[in-house]
Structure 1
Amino acid sequence: MQVVTIHVAKTTLSQLLARVEAGEEIVLARGRNPIAKLVPLKPAAGKRRFGALRGQISVGPGFFEPLTEQEIAAWE
């Protein structure tokens, strides 16, 4: 992880961003004091599709049965 001063960061921002895109982390410093970190963003999770697991999982009829007194007590 490289430390870069704000002055250098302002003059070489495009190159720093290219390095961050490649996976590198860069710390920005004011003088010798670190104040921020440039890190690559993680890609957003894919959008969920309704019914994507249809046919792969199933719920048995026991799932819909009322809970026993012991099961209710365990939840409390």
Structure 2
Amino acid sequence: MESVNMHEAKTRLSQLVARAANGEAFIIAEAGKPVVRVTAIDAPETKTQKRLGFLAGEFNVPDDFDRLGQEEITEMFGG
């Protein structure tokens, strides 16, 4: 997805709105940080949002996952 800085967005607003209306979403950034995503009102949701849980059931996470290697980590930090 294209990123456009704030000044450029102000300068080319009509052009960018036309592109968004044609289904081309873009991001407006300020000082290099993304601020807003511009899409057409009737644009479908992005496909990346539908990927949540795409690996469900493919592997098991052990119950002690958050404690794996705890002794070694404690030792590395002088514990």
Normalised TM-score (structure 2): 0.52
Unaligned runs of 5+ in 1: 44-76
Q: List runs of 5+ in structure 2 lacking aligned partners.
A: 44-79
Report the equivalent of 1:29: 29
For these two proteins, the number of residue pairs brought into alignment is 43
Tell me the equivalent position of 1:40: 40
Distance in 1 separating the partners of 2:32 and 2:6: 10
Question: C-alpha displacement at 1:42, in angstroms?
Answer: 1.3
Structure 1 residues 1-76: aligned runs within 5 Å: 1-42=1-42
The 1-side partners of 2:23 and 2:37 are apart by: 13
1:31, distance to aligned residue in structure 2 (A) = 1.7
For residue 9 of structure 1, report the CA deviation from its aligned partner.
Answer: 0.2
Identical positions, percent: 37
Distance in 2 (alpha carbons) for counterparts of 1:19 and 1:10: 15
